[in-house]
Amino acid sequence: MKRKVPYLKLFFFTVPRRRGIAARLAVLSLVLAAIAAAWCLADLTSQVLLPPQPILALDHYAINRSLKSYLDNISVLIEPSSTVCSDNKRVDVLVLVTSSPKRFAQRQAIRDTWGKYVPAYFVLGLDGPAVEDLTADNYLEAKAYGDMIIFQFLDHYQNLTLKSALMMQWTAARCPSHLDELMLFKTDDDVLVNPWVLRRVVQQNSGKDLIGYRKVNSYLHRDAYNKWYVPRWLHRHDFVPEYLSGTGYLIKGSRLEEILQAAFEVPIINLEDVYFTYIVSKIKLNLTLTHDRRLSPYKPWLPLDCIYWGLASTHSLTPNEILGAWPSIERLGKRYEHGFDNCLYFVNNIWTELYLY
């Protein structure tokens, strides 16, 4: 068996003794210098390999955190000439969908599927801050479908709080006679909505102020590379006891103006769901956040019809996934209208959130 030689020890102790401690210290210094150089090189390499710093678009919040002053300076450029609220018919649920200028495919997928069964309008800003940033394609799309509400502000993920506030303000202004009966469903354009189950959620939670998928005991992200980054100067508390996921939550119509007025007294942050459902609604107004797992921020990893049917909303779907899942939901929905619930046993006895991711 070959014997291992401790080369470093051998080197140290084979230095002639007449050179003494000085020689050994010199060698040790060289070794430490080499280790330090390697450490610095590794650190430099890791910095070079990091992706570029993301565009945070948060500078304006350092100057102004008054929601009211933002809303007072944002005008609506395009909106439907008439809405479901223009009629005298009862409106139980109104869906406003956050979108952005270039997401044509997402909007069209919704129009071709669940948007045919529930009043839905798309809310978006511009690719820039000026009116000239309204693209011809968006203008023609809005005129063709009559379901787009376009505001004059920069459409950016960090401005989602402004967009959500504009949704509430627009609904309160355009549906004043329906607010006592109406529930506003705020959702995203990558969400598949089941209109039949959504209405069931509304009926079963009648009188509740805010309904959604409640997240509990969450920590804010302090990493600037994270999509949900919140700098400490925007919100100093690291911990959020509860809030409703922004992928889709319901607000009682009669509470919209109250929530907005309260928000005018609370400094804005960039996470709209934490801001409106927790900081404003829960902390400022002491409203109850009602959890309903059917308003899910997840999607099935096993795409079975009855798993989809167990949800009122499903998040993070591509346009093709929405189009692919819809025919089964529509078929089940039409049977449900005639008194048949093919998935009743599955949903009541087998369905579990383990099917989601």
Residue-wise pLDDT for 332-355, tens only, equals 999 999 999 999 999 999 999 999
Percent of the chain whose pLDDT exceeds 70: 87
Asked whether 296 and 313 are in contact (CB, 8 A), the reply is: yes
pLDDT over 90 (residue 36): no
The model's pTM: 0.85
Residue-wise pLDDT for 95-104, tens only, equals 999 999 999 9
* pLDDT band, residue 53 (cuts 50/70/90): low
Residue-wise pLDDT for 169-212, tens only, equals 999 999 999 999 999 999 999 999 999 999 999 999 999 999 99
pLDDT over 50 (residue 291): yes
pLDDT over 80 (residue 33): no
Residue-wise pLDDT for 241-270, tens only, equals 999 999 999 999 999 999 999 999 999 999
pLDDT over 90 (residue 278): yes
| Whole-number Å distance between alpha carbons of 290 and 183 | 14
Handedness of CA 168, 169, 175, 176 (dihedral sign): positive
**Half-sphere exposure for 8 (CA within 13 Å, toward CB):** 5
Lowest mean pLDDT among 41-45, 149-153, 281-285: 41-45
* pLDDT given at position 3: 54
* pLDDT given at position 29: 74
Handedness of CA 326, 327, 328, 329 (dihedral sign): positive
pLDDT over 60 (residue 8): no
* pLDDT band, residue 88 (cuts 50/70/90): confident
- Paired sense of beta strands 148-154 and 210-212, if any: unpaired
Work out the angle between the directed axes of helices 319-337 and 104-111 (0-180°, nearest 10). Answer: 10
| Whole-number Å distance between alpha carbons of 150 and 99 | 10
Query: In the structure encoding, which two tokens stand for residue 235, read together?
Result: 């919100």
83-92 CB burial, b ≥16 within 10 A, e <16 = bbbeeeeebb
Asked whether 119 and 195 are in contact (CB, 8 A), the reply is: no
* pLDDT band, residue 12 (cuts 50/70/90): very low
pLDDT over 80 (residue 293): yes
pLDDT over 90 (residue 32): no
Average pLDDT over residues 39-61: 66
* pLDDT band, residue 11 (cuts 50/70/90): very low
Quote the mean pLDDT of the chain. 90
Asked whether 164 and 98 are in contact (CB, 8 A), the reply is: yes
* pLDDT given at position 10: 44
Residue-wise pLDDT for 58-69, tens only, equals 999 999 999 999
Residue-wise pLDDT for 207-228, tens only, equals 999 999 999 999 999 998 888 9
Percent of the chain whose pLDDT exceeds 90: 80
